[in-house]
Structure 1
Amino acid sequence: MDELTAIGRAQALVKDIASAPVDAVGIAQGLGFEVKFADLPANQAGNTFPKAGRKIICINQNDDPYRQRFTTLHEVAHHVLDLPSKHGEVLPSNELERFTGRPSEEKLCDAFAAACLVPLHLIRPLASSLPFTVETVQTLIEQFQASHRCVASSFVRASRELVAYVYAEDGSIQLALPSAAVREAGIYIERGIKLPSGSAASRLLRNGVRFDTEDLDASDWSNSASADNFTCYEEALHMMAWKQTLSLLTFEHLGRSTEQSFEKDDDDERLPPLTGQLPWPRK
Structure 2
Amino acid sequence: MNLKQLEYFIAIAEEHQITAAARRLHISQPPLSYELAKLEKELGCQLVVRGPRSVSLTEAGKVLYDRATHLIAMAHAAEREVASVGTGAGGTITIGVDPGCSGLMPQDRLLDLRRSFPNAEIEIREAATPGIMDLLDGSITDIGVVRTPFKSDGLRCRFAAAEPLVAVMPPDHEVGEEASCTVDDLAGSPIIAYRSLLPELSKAFEVTGSSLRVTTLVDDPRTAALWAREGMGIALIPRSLLRVTDTGEQFIKELACRELESRPAVIWKAQHAASDLFRTAIALLGDLS
TM-score above 0.5, yes or no = no
The one of the two structures with greater contact order (alpha-carbon pairs below 8 A, sep at least 6) is: 2
Structure 1-normalised TM-score? Answer: 0.28
